[in-house]
Chains A and B, each alone.
Chain A
Amino acid sequence: MSLMKGLKAGVFAIGLVCASASAEAYKIYVTNEKDNTVTVINSDGWKVEQTLNVGQRPRGILLTKDGKYLLVCASDDDAVQVFDVATLKLVKTLPSGPDPELFILHPSGNPLYIANEDDNLVTVVDIVNNKVLAEVPVGVEPEGMGISPDGKVLVNTSETTNMAHFIDTTTYELTANVLVDSRPRFAQFSYDGSQLWVSSEIGGNVAVIDPATQKIIKKITFDVPGVTPEALQPVGVRVTKDGAKAFVALGPANRVAVVNAKTLEVEKYLLVGQRVWQLGFSPDQKHLFSTNGVSNDISIIDVAKLKVIKSVRTGRFPWGVVATPD
């Protein structure tokens, strides 16, 4: 094909894209733990666009800061797979340590911090040079990963040790350990860095911690009429950019709790799908997505109206969710 023909084809293709998609359209990617796939959903009509084959037992999923690459924890392949968002082709595999489950990127976009559930380690990987920079020993069964907005503090939760470990990202040394309730699953800093939210699945609560003093400000508990307390198992947490609201996925209670992030009081419970696991915002934070592992779908929540507006079918055992940034 000549250069001119190529350009014309390109212009034509751009025309097609512009004609078919609305201005704010974005994509949502969902890992399906049992199917070894990623479901790709277009926000324009909330339609499933593609199902991508990935490594075995895909769980954690995120996008690089430039939005160009999709990173997937292929837990049973002991690897992190990197896909080009434009082509959805596998471009490389990062060394990850055994059984990677959840991971987080440094706010600068590199390195990547990975929780290795089977090896009681956090592996630090340079995603540009494919190099392991450090392996930090932490508690038993590390899982949740949070990073402060300035990138100085990494927090890892360990399921069996019941702790949130504070790690200095320059020295890779543990600077503090905060005891939380049974089986901590997820850690999330607020956007201004003033709060750290840690969910305890068996403990049934979310500890809000002051990262400066490493003291627990409050343990948020949940109560849904008609649902047994054992079914209230908090896992995924997301805090809005303005610091007004937090959302907590409550596992087999099939609810997402809406928490006032200033008063730390629960305001509402939204009925989503069965065994709600992880959460992810749309790039504009107008929508929140929940992965529902038993009903095999995601629920789409209108963040302003606090209403579930739709559910979209995925593969089996949807686990993680991420949306393409602006």
Chain B
Amino acid sequence: MRCLKISAAAALMVCLTGPALSAGNTDPDWPCVQRKIPALSAGMMWAGPPVDEKAEKVWSADDELGALVARISARRTTLDEAATQIAAYAGGLDAHSKPVKLVALFAGVLSTINSERAQIMKGITKFTRKQQELANAIRTTRKEFTQALKVKPKTDESRKAVRELERKLSWQSRIHQDRERSLRFVCESPVILEQRAFALAREVANQLSE
């Protein structure tokens, strides 16, 4: 019986704990401490020539540039390796095409990282909604469980039903808590991509000024 009480108390705690909103964050579907920045803008990391539609077209139409964008945007490429590849590419450009191609390279990196980041943020929102659904389910199970205990189960069948509810409550609470623990790491992902976009922008800008 003691075990039952402890589980119920744990479940209650889980239910009372909603998503921890950061200061100034009013979006209930955004559970991260980090401020929600829906998309990264060029202005946050770029002081070079304007990144416009023309720059977008240049990188989309150039296979070599497109492949470079894909390679350096991917997180498996280290930033040192990306810097080497950017420098090698810039080194092969003539003075006339260099500014156009390097602005297009940055446009490509920003666009690629932004779409990956958007997918991750969509995933975080989905994750939060699932957690909210699970919290609601825990609330319902807890109510049923408390109700069943009040009635004092007399038959084997009703005792079995109480044990079943207890198991369900414990299982739901465990899943909820495990997911909450992973939230910290999930929330780091958009920031890691923001850092990567900034670092790559800096490398491209360095080549542009050389």
Q: Which residues of A contact B (CB under 8 A)?
A: 224-228, 231, 252-254, 269, 271, 273-274, 294-296, 311
Q: Is the CB of A226 within 8 A of B202?
A: no
Cross-interface CB contact of A228 among B41, B45, B199, cutoff 8 Å: B41
Interface residues of B in 69-127 (CB under 8 A from A): none
Which residues in B have their C-beta under 8 angstroms from that of A224? 43
Cross-interface CB contact of A226 among B42, B191, B195, B205, cutoff 8 Å: B42
Residues of A contacting B: mostly: loop
15 contacts between A and B (CB under 8 A): A224-B43, A226-B41, A226-B44, A227-B43, A252-B44, A253-B44, A254-B45, A269-B47, A271-B45, A271-B205, A273-B198, A274-B198, A294-B194, A294-B198, A311-B202
Q: Is the CB of B41 within 8 A of A295?
A: no
Q: Are A295 and B195 also in contact (CB < 8 A) when A226-B41, A226-B42 are? A: yes
Residue of B44, B45, B202 contacting most chain A CB atoms (<10 Å): B44
Chain A residue at smallest Cβ distance from B199: A295
Q: Is the CB of A271 within 8 A of B47?
A: yes
Q: Report how far A231 CA is from B45 CA in the complex, Å.
A: 12
Q: Report how far A226 CA is from B35 CA in the complex, Å.
A: 19
Distance between B155 CB and nearest chain A CB, rounded to angstroms:
57
Which residues in A have their C-beta under 8 angstroms from that of B41? 226-228
Distance between A270 CB and nearest chain B CB, rounded to angstroms:
8
Which residues in A have their C-beta under 8 angstroms from that of B194? 274, 294
Distance between B199 CB and nearest chain A CB, rounded to angstroms:
7
Which residues in A have their C-beta under 8 angstroms from that of B46? 226, 271
Which residues in B have their C-beta under 8 angstroms from that of A228? 41
Q: Report how far A52 CA is from B205 CA in the complex, Å.
A: 32
Q: Mark B191-210, 1 if CB is under 8 A from A, else 0.
A: 10011001100100100000
Interface residues of B in 32-67 (CB under 8 A from A): 35, 41-47
Q: Is the CB of A274 within 8 A of B43?
A: no
Cross-interface CB contact of A294 among B42, B43, B195, B202, cutoff 8 Å: B195
Q: Report how far A295 CA is from B45 CA in the complex, Å.
A: 11
Which residues in B have their C-beta under 8 angstroms from that of A273? 198
Which residues in A have their C-beta under 8 angstroms from that of B199? 295
Cross-interface CB contact of B43 among A225, A295, A296, A311, cutoff 8 Å: A225
Q: Is the CB of A294 within 8 A of B44?
A: no
